[in-house]
A and B are shown apart, each in its own frame.
Chain A
Amino acid sequence: MIDFGRRTWRIRRGPVAVHGALRTVVVCLGLLLVTCAVGVAGVVTGDLDFTIAEVWRALRDPDAGFDRVVILEWRVPRVTAAIVFGAALGASGAVFQALTRNPLASPDVIGLSAGSHTGGLVAIILLGGTYSAIAGGALIGGVLTAVAIYLLAYRRGVQGFRLIVVGIGVSAMLTAANTYLILRAELDLAMSAAAWGAGSLNGTNWEQVLIGGGVIVVLLTVLTVFAPALSQLGLGDEAAAASGVTVERTRLTLVVLGVAPVAVVTAAAGPIAFVALAAPQIARRLARTAGVTITPAAFTGAFLLLAADYAAQHLLPVTLPVGLVTVVIGGGYLVWLLVAEARRRL
């Protein structure tokens, strides 16, 4: 047996031969457990408090009336959305942080969220904001931004730090464009755009959860397939290429796969900052993985967004959009990160 410096597990059965660190599995299961606990709390508490038995009855009995509406139509989709969207943001952040080997690189910092936001705003103002229009607009906006940043940062391949600097610049420009769009819009459109733009899971319905969630599950599955190539890219472009990774093609694929979950989440809930930035780093410290990895980041993201949404609803004297809560926490974290990064480099 090889000593990996930590406990490992492995499965060899038929065509399957996989292995991994035991700690990663334990951390993911632990996160799943606390996420479920907060999820249950999110379903039972609110303006109307329920017992578990009441929830169970409401879920099974179609004649449970208003209780059933509150639980099945309001709270369960909201909790599900927080979990799935949080996982998407965490995974997306992990992709960009691993690609650039920089904890600053996350879709909200390098302008992809801003681009999705712009796309969504254009859809609201021009097409009037049905869910599919916003979703399409956000997706197109996010992908276009990603392509623009990629091309602007391209010089004999894309180097991580250049991608971040270009992304921050693009992000600033897009934020200005977003403000301009809202200022120029008619009042009622501007108000719905602003409410969406705060980033909120308020009023999440099953349509958004099922469509968005379905797309996210597919994206995360495909990302898992690319995870080994992503780890390999962490060794540097030459070492990755020498071990059989087609570097530029894989990186472009990962950029597109990484921006798509953010666009889907932004379309449904508006821009939600911080989760994609913080989840991969928290996950890396919890699981002690080599570099940033996707799966633990997704679990951490799910927990973070759900917990932030719960806090936004119940722990503060006023009910706030979850986007506002994550921005406040995330802003502080970003300042700390910048200071730490500057200290490390000087």
Chain B
Amino acid sequence: MPPESDPRPPGAAGSPAVNTAARRGRLCVEDATIGYDKRIIIENLSVQIPDHSFTVIVGPNACGKSTLLRGLSRLLKPSDGQVVLDGADIHSYKAKEVARRIGLLPQNSIAPDGITVADLVARGRFPHQGLLRQWTEKDEQAVAEAMEATGVTDLSGRLVDELSGGQRQRVWVSMALAQRTDILLLDEPTTFLDITHQIELLELFTDLHLAGRTLVAVLHDLNHAARYGTHLIAMKNGAIVAQGPPADIVTADLVEEVFDLTCVVVPDPVSGSPSVAPLGRIR
């Protein structure tokens, strides 16, 4: 699926691309302080999202990982510092312009009563639509492809209310895909799904990543993060403790430092990625 966005900052049309992937990722955080109202969650944090990576943010509850993702997606505005998208402050763009470059799968979305799958996926086309141009050939194609990629084409005429949890989550992913962005943010996408649907969804994300997209996900399961992620960001108390490829950074020491959990890290018997077995008290 080709991206429809133009990876240049606003006002830079015609000039060569401001940054190159080698020097800096398209999306990064520069010395940002992010929080809600007066409560600061993340202070002076800087981080790069490597282009074309499947970045996974992990950390204990309330470590600021969702806050970071909300900052990256423009939902929260840093009180200090900035989030940079394609060389410019993400808040200097028009909302629709950001939405043509970054997609987000939020944690809590609501399917309106009586909406069908195709209708919901079509809602992902909103940032590409204007007053008179609401349903072009391109829109139709994007929706069809998004449904195909997530395997919901056969469900397209069904009501979203009637679907199972796993199917419904695939429909939401499909809506985010219909937005046709290069960068896709996923806020705890596998929570509330059974293990089969979790794996199915993670492999769908891997397919999307292999097709060239940059993915940033918040995941709770460290083993899933290490197996499917290509770049890990471990956070604690609003700060980044470690980052890098899972095979390099996931060690028993790191898990103890980030999660206060003693454990043994062994290679996953299937994929060879680091796998965490907690020592625990009861064996």
Q: Do A and B bind each other?
A: yes
A238 and B109 form a contact (CB under 8 A): yes
Give the chain A neighbours of B158 by CB distance below 8 A. Answer: 5
Residue pairs across A and B with Cβ atoms less than 8 A apart, 17 shown, are A5-B158, A12-B135, A16-B133, A19-B134, A101-B110, A225-B131, A231-B112, A235-B112, A236-B109, A236-B110, A238-B75, A238-B106, A238-B108, A239-B104, A241-B75, A242-B106, A244-B95
A16 and B114 form a contact (CB under 8 A): no
Residues of chain B having any CB pair with chain A under 8 Å: 36-37, 73-75, 94-100, 102-104, 106-120, 122-124, 126-127, 129, 131-137, 139-140, 143-144, 147, 156-159, 175-176, 179
A17 within 8 A of B: yes
User: How far apart are B124's CB and chain A's nearest CB, in angstroms?
Assistant: 7
Give the chain B neighbours of A284 by CB distance below 8 A. Answer: 113-114
Give the chain B neighbours of A242 by CB distance below 8 A. Answer: 73, 75, 99, 102-104, 106, 176
- A239 in contact with B36 given A4-B118, A225-B131, A290-B119 (CB within 8 Å): no
B106 and A2 form a contact (CB under 8 A): no
A3 within 8 A of B: yes
Q: How far is the CA of A215 from the CA of B182 in the complex (A)?
A: 44
User: Main secondary structure on chain A at its contact with chain B?
Assistant: loop
Q: How far is the CA of A243 from the CA of B119 in the complex (A)?
A: 15
A18 and B135 form a contact (CB under 8 A): yes
Known: A5-B117, A245-B95. 12 other contacts (CB 8 A): A4-B157, A5-B119, A15-B133, A17-B136, A228-B134, A231-B123, A242-B106, A244-B126, A284-B113, A290-B114, A290-B119, A290-B120
Residues of chain A having any CB pair with chain B under 8 Å: 2-6, 10, 12, 15-19, 101, 156, 225, 228, 231-232, 234-236, 238-239, 241-246, 284, 288-291
Measured CB to CB, the nearest residue on chain A to B97 is: A244
- A235 in contact with B109 given A2-B118, A16-B132 (CB within 8 Å): yes
Give the chain B neighbours of A290 by CB distance below 8 A. Answer: 112-116, 119-120
Give the chain A neighbours of B106 by CB distance below 8 A. Answer: 236, 238-239, 242
Measured CB to CB, the nearest residue on chain A to B187 is: A238
- Count the A-B residue pairs with Cβ separation under 8 angstroms: how many? 125
Contacting residue for A243 out of B117, B124, B139, B147, CB 8 A: B124
Give the chain A neighbours of B73 by CB distance below 8 A. Answer: 241-242
Q: How far is the CA of A239 from the CA of B123 in the complex (A)?
A: 10
Measured CB to CB, the nearest residue on chain A to B113 is: A291
Q: How far is the CA of A291 from the CA of B114 in the complex (A)?
A: 7
Top 7 A-B pairs, shortest CB-CB distance: A5-B157, A244-B99, A291-B112, A290-B115, A238-B106, A242-B104, A244-B96
Give the chain B neighbours of A15 by CB distance below 8 A. Answer: 132-133
Contacting residue for A244 out of B36, B100, B118, B119, CB 8 A: B100
User: How far apart are A295's CB and chain B's nearest CB, in angstroms?
Assistant: 14
Measured CB to CB, the nearest residue on chain B to A1 is: B140
A17 and B134 form a contact (CB under 8 A): yes
- A156 in contact with B134 given A2-B118, A244-B99 (CB within 8 Å): no
A244 and B127 form a contact (CB under 8 A): yes
Give the chain A neighbours of B116 by CB distance below 8 A. Answer: 4-6, 290
Q: How far is the CA of A232 from the CA of B125 in the complex (A)?
A: 10
Q: How far is the CA of A101 from the CA of B70 in the complex (A)?
A: 24
Give the chain B neighbours of A16 by CB distance below 8 A. Answer: 132-133
User: How far apart are A238's CB and chain B's nearest CB, in angstroms?
Assistant: 4
Measured CB to CB, the nearest residue on chain A to B126 is: A243
Give the chain B neighbours of A2 by CB distance below 8 A. Answer: 118, 122, 140, 143-144, 147, 156
Give the chain A neighbours of B159 by CB distance below 8 A. Answer: 5
- A19 in contact with B135 given A235-B123, A242-B99, A243-B123 (CB within 8 Å): yes
- A156 in contact with B36 given A3-B157, A243-B99, A290-B114 (CB within 8 Å): yes
